[in-house]
């Protein structure tokens, strides 16, 4: 599941708590402390964009702030959604409302430049200038994450291209109610699928690091992450092998 990492969360919380030690208030005179002035816009390069934390599966609020020509989307319009695909210079930006499978997508024209603006609360605002002549502001929403959606085994197989003989990885994520299982939480099983996964049947992976599960009872996906629950209450994440 695409979500905020522990490192991202720690850095954000630390900076917010200690912002007065590192940042000067907007409009303040430089006091020689070496603190960074807030409010100034800094042009970002490819590496800075990559490290911005805005990536596939992240939730953002997008606000149109300017336009050099007439458009169906008026200045001031705001939309919140999940970034679908890579966020980078020279590429368009796609947003979906809830799930990666949504066909109704908002597409922003190719990004020509990105500026970062440090806000007084220690958070960042990103300003996009796009090929259509419009300008947008991005505000990340780190606390909003994709919700697990009930799916089918067939949908899982199609999304991950799973079938008999496919190299597959299973990772034990949890067990409902704290029950017991021969497979401990965190254990990874790797091997070739003996049969194509189906509802009501267990999964068997052949190979030196293989193993098997009890029958599949439920499948859910959250963004690009697929999980299934078995009859024993075990929760597994399933991924294609390398």
CATH number for 6-140 (one of 2.60.40, 3.40.50, 2.30.29, 3.40.1350): it is 2.30.29
Calculate what percentage of the chain has a pLDDT beyond 90.
58
The per-residue pLDDT for range 73-132, each reduced to its tens digit, is: 889 999 999 999 989 999 999 999 888 888 889 999 999 999 988 777 767 889 999 999
- Say how far apart CA 183 and CA 63 lie, in whole Å: 47
The per-residue pLDDT for range 146-188, each reduced to its tens digit, is: 999 999 999 999 999 999 999 999 999 998 876 667 778 889 9
Among 206, 48, 11, 203, which Cα is nearest to 123's? Answer: 11
The per-residue pLDDT for range 2-14, each reduced to its tens digit, is: 444 555 666 667 6
Q: What is the pTM of this model?
A: 0.75
Q: Residue 160, SS3?
A: helix
- Say how far apart CA 131 and CA 170 lie, in whole Å: 43
Tokens of residue 101, six digits: 């499978």
- Say how far apart CA 46 and CA 88 lie, in whole Å: 7
State mean pLDDT over 204-213.
Answer: 94
The per-residue pLDDT for range 30-64, each reduced to its tens digit, is: 555 545 555 678 889 998 898 888 999 999 999 99
């Amino acid at each position: 599941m695409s979500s905020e990492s522990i490192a991202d969360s720690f850095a954000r919380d630390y900076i917010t708590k200690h912002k007065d030690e590192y940042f000067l208030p907007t409009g303040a005179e430089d006091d020689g402390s070496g603190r960074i002035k807030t409010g100034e816009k800094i042009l970002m390069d490819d590496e800075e964009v990559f490290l911005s934390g805005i990536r596939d599966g992240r939730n953002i609020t997008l606000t149109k702030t300017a336009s050099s020509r007439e458009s169906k989307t008026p200045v001031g319009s705001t939309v919140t959604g999940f970034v679908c695909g890579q966020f980078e210079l020279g590429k368009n930006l796609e947003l979906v409302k809830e799930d990666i499978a949504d066909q109704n997508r908002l597409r922003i024209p190719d990004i020509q430049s990105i500026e970062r603006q440090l806000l007084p609360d220690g958070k960042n605002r990103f300003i996009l200038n796009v090929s259509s002549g419009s300008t947008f502001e991005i505000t990340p929403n780190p606390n909003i994450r994709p919700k697990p959606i009930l799916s089918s085994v067939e949908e899982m197989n199609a999304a991950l291209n799973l079938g008999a003989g496919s190299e597959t990885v299973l990772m034990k994520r949890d067990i409902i109610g704290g029950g017991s299982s021969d497979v401990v939480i965190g254990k990874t099983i790797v091997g070739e699928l003996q049969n194509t996964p189906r509802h009501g049947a267990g999964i068997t992976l052949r190979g030196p690091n293989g193993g098997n599960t009890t029958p599949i009872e439920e499948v859910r996906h959250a963004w690009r992450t697929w999980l299934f629950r078995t009859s024993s209450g075990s929760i597994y994440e399933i991924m294609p092998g390398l």
